[in-house]
């Protein structure tokens, strides 16, 4: 029969266990939430997550072009994560605890599961106030961090979704929703948050090209190919690619722009949607119409210039 001292000890131990398990259970209740399928970099495949996290950890600059930045973190990757997240914030890792037992059964092979406690230092996107300390579950690739990641005190950029009924516990939006030493990625998120079409989410996602007409809109303008591009929910946008050499300013007229066009900006959501939605080649019906007018070669050249300008969906 247990003594009074043993009974008191057990009563103290059980709530302590519950306090640790509660945020883990809450974060795992809905599973790791995944970003929308466009584009592929934000999918939760371990190889993708490992590549992005390793690049962020190393902090090495590589590549060129509008869609590639430090450490292999690209604008399309950050845009996809931002649009798919309820909350985006920066913070410093206060504590990391290994998760084992039943809470770790669904951990992907080659990963170790950890409960993260982070002191919030900056909120970039959020629908409401965020507490000063949050918790979430992170599956760390062992090939990068080993079985005991040494990330305490590190600065992180987090892409999160709220857990219903718990204002301090969150889920990573995707496997690569935690970026260490984020650097320039934070500025990307700020730009995306301020983009005028962010509020519509994926409504401007490009789903196809329906027409390409080569013409002059005014007598003092050069010829340009005006591509009529279908979006997921907003209707049709027009992208105008002028002929000529050198600095050719591509202009975009959004579905709800009331006839006003604006230059296509690099590292913008419009550019991101074009990069990830334009087909590799123009559809046959579009080319047939251009061929009937004798413009097929010019139209194809302008389309290739557009695709080269917006870059890869990576």
Confidence of residue 281 (pLDDT cuts 50, 70, 90): very high
SS (H, E, C) the chain: CCCHHHHHHHHHHHHHHHHHHHHHHHHHCCCCCCCCCCCHHHCCCHHHHHHHHHHHHHCCCCCCCCCECHHHCEHHHHHHHHHCCCEEEEEEEEEEEECCHHHHCCCCCCEEEEEEEEEEEEEEECCCCCCCEEEEEEEEEHHHHCCCCCCCCCEEEEEEEEECCEEEEEEECCCCCEEECCCHHHHHHHHHHHCCCHHHHHHHCEEEEEEEEEECCCCCCCCEEEEEEEECCCCEEEEEEECCCCCCCCEEECCCCCCCCEECCCCCHHHHHHHHHCCCCCCHHHHHHHHHCCCHHHHHHHHHHHHHHHCCCC
pLDDT the model gives residue 37: 39
Mean pLDDT of 142-160: 94
**Same-domain pairing of 189 and 208:** no
Are both 91 and 64 inside the same structural domain?
A: yes
The answer to whether residue 90 is domain-embedded is: yes
Query: If you average pLDDT over residues 178-189, what whole number do you get?
Result: 94
Are residues 170 and 98 both part of a single domain? yes
Q: How much of the chain exceeds pLDDT 70, in percent?
A: 75
Q: pLDDT digit string (tens) for 59-104?
A: 333 333 455 444 568 999 999 999 999 999 999 999 999 999 988 8
Residue 16 covered by a domain: no
Q: 194, 223, 238 — which closes off a domain?
A: 194
Together in a domain, 209 and 120? no
Task: Tell me: do 168 and 275 sit in the same domain.
Answer: no
């Amino acid at each position: 029969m247990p003594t009074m001292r043993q009974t008191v000890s057990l009563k103290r131990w059980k709530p302590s266990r519950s306090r640790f398990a509660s945020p883990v259970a809450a974060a795992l209740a809905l599973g790791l939430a995944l970003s929308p399928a466009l584009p592929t970099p934000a999918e939760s495949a371990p190889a993708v997550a490992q590549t992005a996290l390793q690049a962020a950890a190393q902090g090495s600059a590589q590549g060129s072009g509008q869609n590639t930045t430090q450490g292999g973190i690209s604008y399309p990757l950050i845009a996809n994560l931002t649009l798919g997240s309820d909350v985006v914030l920066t913070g410093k890792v206060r504590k990391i605890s290994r998760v084992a037992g039943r809470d770790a059964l669904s951990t992907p092979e080659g990963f170790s599961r950890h409960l993260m406690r982070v002191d919030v230092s900056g909120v970039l996107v959020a629908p409401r106030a965020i507490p000063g300390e949050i918790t979430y579950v992170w599956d760390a690739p062992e090939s990068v961090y080993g079985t005991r990641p040494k990330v305490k005190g590190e600065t992180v950029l987090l892409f999160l979704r709220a857990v219903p009924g718990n204002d301090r516990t969150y889920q990573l939006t995707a496997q690569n929703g935690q970026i260490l030493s984020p650097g320039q990625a934070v500025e990307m998120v700020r730009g995306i948050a301020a983009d005028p079409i962010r509020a519509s989410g994926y409504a401007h996602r490009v789903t196809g090209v329906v027409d390409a007409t080569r013409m002059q809109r005014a007598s003092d303008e050069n010829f340009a190919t005006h591509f009529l591009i279908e979006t997921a929910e907003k209707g049709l946008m027009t992208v105008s690619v002028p002929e000529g050499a050198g600095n050719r300013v591509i202009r975009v007229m959004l579905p709800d722009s009331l006839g006003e066009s604006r230059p296509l900006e690099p590292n913008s959501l419009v550019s991101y949607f074009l990069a990830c939605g334009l087909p590799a080649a123009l559809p046959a019906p579009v080319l047939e119409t251009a061929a009937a007018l004798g413009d097929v070669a010019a139209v194809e050249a302008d389309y290739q210039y557009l695709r080269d300008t917006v870059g890869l969906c990576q």
